[in-house]
Structure 1
Amino acid sequence: MSRRSQQRFVVVHRKTRMQELVERFNTWPQARFYLEHNQVDVQDYLDEHDLYQQRLNEVERCLKERGRFQWLERNLLPTYQFSPDDIVVVIGQDGLVANTLKYLKGQPVIAINPDPERWDGQLLPFRVNDLAEIVAQVQAKQSNIKAVTFAKASTNDGQTLLAVNDLFIGPKTHTSARYRLSWNGQSESHSSSGVIVSTGMGSSGWFQSILAGAMGVTGKFGHPLSGGFAWDDRWLQFAVREPFPSQTTGTSLVFGEVTESKPLQLESFMPENGVVFSDGVEQDYLAFNSGCILTIGVAQHQGALVAA
């Protein structure tokens, strides 16, 4: 058997909106009735589903000719055991690419945009008809690989969580987070809406809304990080959301750069409902309650996203 035929491809996909509705209402007719009752365009759901299934079939035909093949639904990512030699193919959207990267250890990720007219796909440089050529380049180690720096959150009881875009540390609900923040030799107690820690890949997302709000309040135009920073930069940026000044809480340590030699540490003062989650996935979180000390830094390994 040739080396080429021994290659394993893992294709990460997601459920369509139609499939999620069928799970919710048990059958498509019931789901369809719900949509029509709410005057929603049912055909849009059908068109999206049909095109996505077509793209999955095209990917399967392409990859089966080139090696072993494994489907992987998004919900199974946290428990799936990837091999170091796997080539991972993700069938959009951007969020699925980010969520996949953090469960890998440097395996190359080929990200496919299944519906360019529907999704902008900043992290989806390829179409299905590009796949055969890109796979050949990856196997020959001639592809353009972009390194992606991760953030890593570690608790004092040994739990860890990686982030491709950003980490959120704060309250589970719309209440105030209470904690002590330590960074760059300084410490300060805070009452805020939580803390965002952004990677380079995430610096064009949620992080930009924080900058935009701050500039709007102060009346300033532009900021050195308004364009974000590079995906492979070995540093992170933290920002405290809505810090409240009081006799016991300060507002001087609210924005700064996290590096390998300058980590960020937070000690929770919240008896309950404190959380740490990454990349907007609220269901996959670490508890951040009283007694928890969280250290945030740059992860040692990086992701590998195949670029055009």
Structure 2
Amino acid sequence: MFVICIKRTKWQRDLERYGDQDFLKRIYDLQNHAFEKVHSSHERQIQNLEKLQSHLPEAQYIFREDLVAFEPKPGQTLISLGGDNHFVYCARFAGNEPILAINSDPATSTGSLLYFDTESFLKKLERWKDPSTPIQPEITRQEAWTMIEAELQYPDGRIIRTGPCISEISIRNAFPDAMSRYVLSVEDEPPEEQKSSGLLIATGAGSTGWFRNCLPPSIQRTSRATFGREDPSYRIVAREPGFKAGRKYRYRYRNLETQQLRVISEMDGEFTIDAHEERRFPFPPATQAIIQLSEQRLHVVRDLKNVAG
């Protein structure tokens, strides 16, 4: 039925790192007195998890580390309990089965990709008040989000296929303060050499955050700044291009549909999928990335109901 993937809270992760509550509190005091904010968020997340566990005991609860061995099965719904980043991480393991996202702390997390919180989810299942209510969940609305994928062709002949990307691909110099240099081309169009702080390639799901912030101001303020999560397209933007040369770039900002995008590295760079460290690939000089829409879609639950009895 449901496999709910939970994440450790910031408080739990930091406590594991530093090992001492008093020392950790001093760290937070130096960070603009963040203890109250961090610890209260921790408590709310634990309360929401305990509410789910008590009102949905038949679900299977796993941690992120368990996803490596997770195999999606027909009739099974993977649920991420966390924020946007946790959802994007979990989604890559969903395969062709649906995934549902629950915001673990709506008080502090915007959760622009998340359609449920603990209360709304349990109410859909008629379990908010009575955990003994029989349930037979039925998905009544589901979205098919567009994803992109890439193939990295290295000068020594190695080829790496990155797998689907849900939000965005980042291409930049491995040393973040150095200029990013690369050559772009779109199918039969002439190539263009660019210098910037990096290149972003985004899906509709990734168009509302980092990508939007990197758009030219004239586009940021318009309805064209973002696009639908199911739109069969992807977009690119050069981050902080040179002041003079950047105004002449044909590919400073571009919408692509069926076309392939080719990027050739002129730097010791990095190629990162969905801002996840474990999906970061070397992008040295003369390496070529071929980026296109993925045939696979991400099936995201938008609504459901209980049809038992």
C-alpha change, 1:221 and 1:231, in structure 2 (3 Å) is: closer
% same residue: 21
Residue ranges of structure 1 left out of the alignment (5+ in a row): 1-6
- Deviation, 1:38, is 5.7
Contact 1:92 / 1:124 at 8 angstroms: preserved in 2?
Answer: no
- Quick one: structure 1 residues 15 and 304, their matched pair in 2 at CA, closer, same or farther if it must change by over 3 Å? same
SS where residue 230 of structure 2 aligns? coil
* Alpha carbons of structure 1 residues 117 and 70: separation in structure 2 relative to 1, 3 Å: closer
Q: Which residue of 2 aligns with 1:61?
A: 54
Question: How far apart are 1:146 and its partner, in Å?
Answer: 1.4
Cα separation, 1, equivalents of 2:252 and 2:70? 38
Give CA deviations for 1:131-160 in whole Å, capped at 9, x if unaligned.
Answer: 345469x96544211111112121121331
Unaligned runs of 5+ residues in structure 2 are 127-134, 154-158, 304-309
Distance 1:223 1:246, change over 3 A: closer
Count of matched residue positions in the alignment of Structure 1 and Structure 2: 285
Is the Cα–Cα contact under 8 Å of residues 59 and 128 in structure 1 kept in the other structure? Answer: yes
Matches of residues 289-300 of structure 1 in structure 2 within 5 Å?
A: 289-300=284-295
Deviates more, 1:293-302 or 1:15-24: 15-24
SS at match of 1:50: helix
1:48 equivalent in alignment to 2:33: no
Find 1:31's aligned residue among 24, 30, 50. 24
1:143 maps to which residue?
Answer: 140
- C-alpha distance in 2, partners of 1:39/1:166? 31
Give the conservation status (yes or no) of the 8 Å contact 2:78–2:94: no
* Structure 1 residue 229 displacement after superposition: 1.1
Could you state the TM-score of these two structures normalised by the residue count of structure 2? 0.81
Tell me how large the CA RMSD over aligned residues is: 2.7
SS in 2 for 1:57: helix
Aligned partner of residue 153 in structure 1, secondary structure: strand
Q: Which residue does the alignment assign to 2:61?
A: 70
Match of 2:142, as an amino acid?
I
Matched to 2:184, the amino acid is L
What amino acid sits opposite 2:178 in the alignment?
Answer: T
Task: Give 1:48's aligned amino acid.
Answer: S
Q: How does 1:46-125 map to 2 (within 5 A)?
A: 46-65=39-58, 69-73=60-64, 77=67, 79-85=68-74, 86-125=76-115
Distance 1:224 1:130, change over 3 A: closer
Aligned to 2:121: 131
C-alpha distance in structure 1 between counterparts of 2:222 and 2:288, whole Å:
32
Instruction: Name which of structure 1's ranges 298-307 and 179-188 shifts more when overlaid on structure 2.
Output: 179-188
